[in-house]
Amino acid sequence: MRKEVRMVNNFFRGVRFFRSVRFLNLTKSATNPDLKSPKTLPELSGFTYSVQAGLIILLLFFTQNLQAQKLSFVEYLNLVKQNHPLIKQANLLPADAQAEILQAKGFFDPKLSSDFERKAFQGKDYFNRWNSNLKIPTWYGPDFKLGYEQNTGSFLQSEESPRLMYAGVSIPLGQGLLIDARRNTLKQANLGSQLADAEKVKIINKAILSAAKEYWEWYLAYQQLRLTEEGQRLADLRFQGTKARAKIGEQASIDSVEAKITLQDRQVMLEQARVEWQNARLALSNFLWSDKEMPMELDENITPELERMPLVNEITLQELLVKAKSQHPEILKVSTKLEQLSIEERFRKEMLKPQVNLDFTLLGKTFNADPMLQYSDAFRWANQKVGLSLQMPLLFRKEKGKLQQVRIKQSQNLLDRSLIIRTIMNDVYASYNEVKNFERQLKIQEDAVKNQEILLKGEQRKFDIGESTLFLLNSRENKLIDMRIKVESLKTKYQKSLAQLAYSAGLAEL
């Protein structure tokens, strides 16, 4: 859209310049009405010169903008990376993983709670119990708590105090000492962010691969259209010439029929090429979106641009193999899953221990109950409450079963990783072999096109002196068009194989 606006602006700028030049010359003629015809000749020549200058400037403007109507592969990929919905969805995965981490950290949030209980019966106030406390979980297992309770009523229990402050700690001595459910969840969530990053790279790489293939299909469709249009134009010129020579008897009329058939055949090919060009343009538009997430349609005036084709060699192959082992998203995902299973195994082993919890609480009077109480005397070692709890299943069958499942998954993932690494390495080798194969084919085909051009020129010279037929000349020309299209097809396959090579190595592009 910006290129089109720039082209229109340049056009009107050239028109304004043309009008201003013409106005100046017309003004000269109008201010000298007494000039005779011989004396106005210089003015006319000046006007003609100005017109020519204006047309040249207009031509320069249009030439500049026609050159600007090119969409290179790099520019196209940048548009896809910035605005395509799949890419934007992939970029949201790390944020979702961070949200999971935030949820896991919530298990370590301090919790404030307050309970109130009251009983009254037949006009008697049995009890009013109010207990408020703050619990502070820690990463290392122990939980701290601070609290305040206030109890009133006629039927309080003997261990209840009217007003009481307390501060204590709960320590797991068995199950949960080394790792517990909340630590396991947070560690798993932290590794989940790595999984999200790998999945993001995988989605982006796949989208870039599909976009690259569509671009080169669009390029091939354009080249087919261009070459077919050239062939149709040559066939039309030959038909018109043959028809004119047949009318004056210099050539047999049957030759004009053959030229007409060749023209019609190429017209059919041209119509097919136009349809394929339009469909390829529509397919490419699927990957073009604005920054406001609105679909964009590729303009018909925009054409692809073939930049210098990159070459790969054995050094490139070895570099790709190293990158694939360390950066390929599939390998990163399975390696991260193995780390998660290792943490899960530690947790399941911990669950085989008995639950032994030690609770220790220091007690103290409130400042309202004893105004003379000092801060240093608020909690004394003599005022304490100690508790020890023990709980364990006799057979641990549930815990043992879950541990076995984790170990089975570990074995499966180890085998899966070996298979994935093997497959990825072979895919890189296969993609590299395909690239080199197309490179060799392209070189041979380009040499063949040069030879076919020589052959066509020779056949044209023989036809001009009457030693060849129109059928042979058309056959040579058709063969040259087909070979040129094949060259462009091999260029397309070469570029697509480069994109496939990058994807096989876990990269978006080489």
DSSP string, 231-247: HHHHHHHHHHHHHHHHH
Q: Which of 139-153, 278-292, 357-371 has the lowest mean pLDDT?
A: 357-371
* 337, pLDDT greater than 70: yes
Separation between Cα atoms, residue 397 and residue 473, nearest integer Å? 88
* 28, pLDDT greater than 50: no
Separation between Cα atoms, residue 12 and residue 145, nearest integer Å? 79
pTM (global) more than 0.75: yes
Q: Which residues contact 469 (CB under 8 A, 6 or more apart)?
A: 463
Q: Quick one: pLDDT band at residue 354, thresholds 50, 70, 90?
A: very high
What pLDDT digit, counting tens, does each position of 407-448 carry? 999 999 999 999 999 999 999 999 999 999 999 999 999 999
Q: What does each C-alpha distance from 413 to 178, 247, 333, 335, 337 come to in angstroms?
A: 25, 82, 10, 8, 8
Q: Which of 67-81, 82-96, 389-403, 449-463 has the lowest mean pLDDT?
A: 67-81
> What percent of the chain clears pLDDT 90, i.e. is strictly above it?
58
* 50, pLDDT greater than 70: no
* 483, pLDDT greater than 60: yes
- At 241 the pLDDT is 87
Q: Quick one: pLDDT band at residue 388, thresholds 50, 70, 90?
A: very high
Q: Quick one: pLDDT band at residue 44, thresholds 50, 70, 90?
A: very low
Q: How many CB atoms lie within 10 A of CB 393?
A: 11
* 46, pLDDT greater than 70: no
- At 371 the pLDDT is 57
- At 367 the pLDDT is 55
> What percent of the chain clears pLDDT 70, i.e. is strictly above it?
84
Place of tokens 């204590």: 168
Q: Quick one: pLDDT band at residue 10, thresholds 50, 70, 90?
A: very low
Separation between Cα atoms, residue 87 and residue 83, nearest integer Å? 7
* 339, pLDDT greater than 90: yes
Whole-number average pLDDT of the chain: 84
Place of tokens 């993983």: 97
119-122-125-128 Cα dihedral, nearest 10 degrees: 10
* 62, pLDDT greater than 70: no
What pLDDT digit, counting tens, does each position of 146-186 carry? 998 888 888 877 777 788 888 999 999 999 999 999 999 99
Q: Quick one: pLDDT band at residue 121, thresholds 50, 70, 90?
A: confident
Q: What does each C-alpha distance from 263 to 235, 408, 458, 463 come to in angstroms?
A: 5, 70, 22, 18
Separation between Cα atoms, residue 349 and residue 303, nearest integer Å? 64
Specify the higher pLDDT residue, 13 or 264. 264
How big is the chain, counted in residues? 510
Q: Quick one: pLDDT band at residue 64, thresholds 50, 70, 90?
A: very low
Q: Which residues contact 135 (CB under 8 A, 6 or more apart)?
A: 110, 111, 113, 143, 144, 145
Decide: 126 and 102 in contact? Cβ < 8 Å.
Answer: no
Q: Quick one: pLDDT band at residue 503, thresholds 50, 70, 90?
A: very high
> Helix, strand, or coil here: 435?
helix
DSSP run (H or E) holding 362:
strand 355-364
- At 308 the pLDDT is 78
Residue 239's nearest CA partner among 472, 475, 470 is 470
Q: Quick one: pLDDT band at residue 373, thresholds 50, 70, 90?
A: low
Decide: 425 and 321 in contact? Cβ < 8 Å.
Answer: yes
Separation between Cα atoms, residue 151 and residue 139, nearest integer Å? 34
Q: How many CB atoms lie within 10 A of CB 292?
A: 6
Specify the higher pLDDT residue, 124 or 38. 124
> Helix, strand, or coil here: 387?
strand
Q: Which of 2-16, 21-35, 219-233 has the highest mean pLDDT?
A: 219-233
- DSSP alpha helices (H): ranges in 84-121? 85-105
Is the alpha carbon torsion for 320, 321, 323, 324 positive or negative?
Answer: positive
| Average pLDDT score over residue span 476-500 | 93
Decide: 41 and 48 in contact? Cβ < 8 Å.
Answer: no
For every residue of 116-169, which 3-state class applies, written as one string? EEEEEECCEEEEEEEEEEEEEECCCCCEEEEEEEEEECCCCCCCCCCEEEEEEE
| Average pLDDT score over residue span 316-328 | 93
* 222, pLDDT greater than 70: yes
| Average pLDDT score over residue span 101-127 | 90
Q: How many CA atoms lie within 13 A of 281 on its CB side?
A: 19
Provide the token pair at 313.
């060699």
Separation between Cα atoms, residue 241 and residue 419, nearest integer Å? 67
Determine the Cα angle at 384 with ends 382 and 388, to 5°: 135
The one-letter amino acid code at 181 reads A
Determine the Cα angle at 100 with ends 97 and 101, to 5°: 90
Cα-only R_g, the chain: 42
Provide the token pair at 459.
């056949």
